[in-house]
Amino acid sequence: MTSFASLCLSALIALAPGGSQPKDEITTPPGLVDIKGGRTQIGTSVKVIEGLMEGSSKMLRAANALAAETPSHTVDVDDYALMVTEVTNEQYRAFVEAAGGQPPQHWGQASIDKAGREFLETQGKARQAAREAGEPVPEAKVFERERWWAKNWATANWEVPDGEELNPVVYVNYANAQAYARWAGLRLMSEEEYQRAGRDNSDNTYPWGDDWDDDKYCATNAQSENRNAFAVASFPEGKSPSGIFDLSGNVWEWTSTG
């Protein structure tokens, strides 16, 4: 199944199976839908990829991503339940506030900007004082935003960007994606489960079929030259047969297999 996305990270969470309760007595939690397992095609054939490349010059920009979908093969996937959308900023915020999880770095942009200004001001004064005293001038250093956030996020101010509450949460590393899943009583889906959610029993190129449709693909970056993520479920016509949104496009998904 072909899925292009912006260079962001998001967690789409699957319900963890287990326990001794009979399947017919298990109630699907709110916000999740049942996905029936079965023999599932994984990846995309070289022939299909060649056809995509020939059919649209825009696809050439995604050549490396397409090549990573080979070789195509099939596997058995068990039944499971899956969230209908990617995890949103407001959902992840609840985890941060309740469990002390780490906010994405861009949520703390104002705090980082302030710290950067203070860093440069302090450094500038120290260098100027050295010059005036006729002493060796300290080497100018670069303010490292990522390192500062990793060290100070627990005490820094942060907020979800205005108007992006329903956007998928991005720039979340694997450890934090796993932590969110555990907090929510869920788990990350596997790559095979991701493919199953989009394809069901078919070998479709896209969740809606084999034909490209601009109104169904949640396009970012290469396809639309739009680098911003869309709010979840912005392309309802592109949902999968099971009712899962944005399996093709928008942002990258973390899976338990990578």
The pLDDT tens digits of the residues spanning 30-47 come to 889 999 999 998 877 777
Continuous segment of H or E residues that includes residue 145: helix 145-152
Compute CA distances 208 → 47, 96, 141, whole Å.
19, 35, 52
CA neighbor of 256 nearest in space, from 19, 80, 96: 80
**Cβ–Cβ < 8 Å for 197, 35:** yes
Q: Are strands 251-254 and 6-11 parallel, antiparallel or unpaired?
A: parallel
Give me the residues paired with residue 57 across strands. Answer: none
Mean pLDDT across 166-178: 92
**Cβ–Cβ < 8 Å for 246, 167:** no
pTM metric for this prediction: 0.82
Report all structural domains of the chain as residue ranges with CATH numbers, in order of start: 6-93+167-254 (3.90.1580.10), 104-152 (no CATH)
- pLDDT of 59 higher than 80: no
pLDDT value for 85:
93
Continuous segment of H or E residues that includes residue 76: strand 73-77
| DSSP code of residue 125 | H
**Cβ–Cβ < 8 Å for 181, 187:** yes
Q: What pLDDT digit, counting tens, does each position of 124-139 carry?
A: 999 999 999 999 999 9
- pLDDT of 18 higher than 70: no
- pLDDT of 6 higher than 80: no
